[in-house]
Structure 1
Amino acid sequence: MTDFLPLAYPWIKALHVMAVLSWMAGLFYLPRLFVYHAERGHLGQEPVQSFRIMEDKLLRLIMNPAMIVTWIAGLALVLTPGIVDWTMIWPWTKAAGVLGMTWFHMWLAGQRKALLLGQGLSGRRYRMMNEVPTLLMVLIVLSVIVKF
């Protein structure tokens, strides 16, 4: 398999980038949907039902598959000989950022369930949490590009 990875490297890297873009789009958008859901949820009208459907489909059909492909392609890149120098700091900071991003994804999934039960956070709190993926993205991109 290690003979295959160097040959497939550009394709795996392209797949990884596409999956990351899809995952990040969901990580940016789902908390925004939660803001609207939290602020209009007490109305019990049609917009709330629409938010529930959008939240569910975004998480199940886009974010979950994108996260899985991101992880699989990312691990394939890590296993490609000569790509990662583990004596440097950047792979560790990137790994920490990816673990943080995964935690945030799982937190969002839990918040979707809480909102369904009427136990979600305030719109203001969701607005604040919406900054988490941006901070993690900055850490990951700087780690990979600058390789500090």
Structure 2
Amino acid sequence: MYPWVLAFHIISFTCWFAALFYLPRLFVYHAHAVRQDDGQGSTRFQIMERKLYAAIMTPAMILTLVFGIWLLALDVQYYLTAGWFYVKAVLVVLLIGFHHICKSHMKRFASGTNRRGGGYYRVFAMIPAILLIAIVILSVVKPF
């Protein structure tokens, strides 16, 4: 059973990260549309952001957590004695926080109160990549 649960965990976190990489890029383009006073473009980006968040990003996050907890339950003794697992868990919590910060950025765009430009969102978009690198290294190398 472990290989199946692991496979679905990998599939779900791949989908989650795809959305986590793409949504901040949409914010870059959305900020540009707002700066250009392109109301039609801004509306289009709001729809794209909302659908990505609701239809892909959030379900993928939930499935990642479900399968991750299932993996933990299959060998709880091993994971609770592995130091790398605690660091990974903290990084996953940070990733969940990033997920919710994305939602707050979407709300600001929708209400017309976004004050951040494309440069901010370009830097913001690097956060999930850094977390992914750290999480994969911890999970595969298990350095401690």
Per the normalisation by structure 1, the TM-score is 0.90
The answer to whether 1:103 aligns with 2:92 is no
- The structure with more helix, counted as a fraction of residues: 2
- Once the two structures are aligned, what percentage of the paired residues are identical? 37
Q: CA deviation at 1:31?
A: 0.3
Distance 2:68 2:113 in 1: 35
Contact in 1 for aligned 2:72/2:79 (Cα 8 Å): no
Of 99, 119, 142 in structure 1, the residue corresponding to residue 137 of structure 2 is 142
Given residue 136 of structure 1, which amino acid in structure 2 is its aligned partner?
Answer: L
Which of 56, 62, 66 aligns to 2:50? It is 56
2:117 corresponding residue in structure 1:
122
Q: Deviations over 1:18-65 (max 9, x none)?
A: 100000000000000001101111413322121111100000000010
State the Cα RMSD in Å. 1.4
- Give the aligned partner of residue 131 of structure 1: 126
- After the TM superposition, which residues 1-148 of structure 1 pair with which residues of structure 2 at under 5 Å, given as runs? 8-42=1-35, 43-81=37-75, 84-120=78-114, 121-148=116-143
Contact 1:77-1:83 at 8 Å conserved across structures: no
Amino acid at match of 2:7: A
CA distance in 1, matches of 2:80, 2:60: 26
Aligned residue-pair number: 141
Matched AA of 1:137:
L
Q: CA deviation at 1:93?
A: 1.2
Counterpart code for 1:142: I
Contact kept? 1:94, 1:143, Cα under 8 Å:
yes
* Structure 1 runs (4+) greater than 3 angstroms displaced: 82-85
Q: TM-score, normalised by structure 2?
A: 0.92
Structure 1 unaligned spans of 5+: 1-7
